[in-house]
Amino acid sequence: MSEKSVRSSSESVSSAKAVEVLKPSRVRRSFTGQFKEEALAMISREGLSVAEAARRLGVHENLLRKWRGLVQSQGVKALAGPAQPTAIEEENRQLREENARLKMERDILKKATVFFARESR
């Protein structure tokens, strides 16, 4: 084998190694306010450590510490999670979606105008 053929075959191997393997993204879990309250009650009621309660519940212990800090600073209502959007917030969301759709349609029509203007020459 010549040196050139060895080099080209090794280059193709190294380029094949450069292929990126994509990992599936992790799904973010969400917990109800009731679950959070019961988890914190388990710590105080049963006298468990945060680490032990986290192992039993299958959550990270830092998450339990965060919930406990929220309750101490803001009260139990902090665990309830985000409230339902108000009517104005919902309307604002819908208008933003419609605005994005209209901008996309406008851009498509601009491109179509340029395309057909070139063809008619």
Count of CB atoms situated within 10 Å of the CB of 67: 22
- Residue 22 confidence (pLDDT): 66
Determine, yes or no, domain membership for 112.
yes
pLDDT in tens, 79-109: 886 667 789 999 999 999 999 999 999 999 9
Considering the domain architecture, whether residues 40 and 55 belong to the same structural domain is answered as: yes
Is residue 33 within 8 A of residue 80, CB to CB? The reply is yes
Stated pTM of the model: 0.48
pLDDT above 50 for 59: yes
Domain extent for 59: 30-83
How many domains would you assign to the chain? 2
Locate tokens 């917990």: which residue? Answer: 31
pLDDT above 50 for 73: yes
pLDDT above 60 for 65: yes
Considering the domain architecture, whether residues 76 and 93 belong to the same structural domain is answered as: no
**Long-range contacts of range 53-60, CB-CB < 8 Å, 24 or more positions apart?**
59/31
Considering the domain architecture, whether residues 79 and 93 belong to the same structural domain is answered as: no
Determine, yes or no, domain membership for 107.
yes
Determine, yes or no, domain membership for 24.
no
Determine, yes or no, domain membership for 1.
no
Q: How far is the C-alpha of 113 from the C-alpha of 69, rounded, in Å?
A: 58
- High-pLDDT (> 70) share of the chain, %: 78
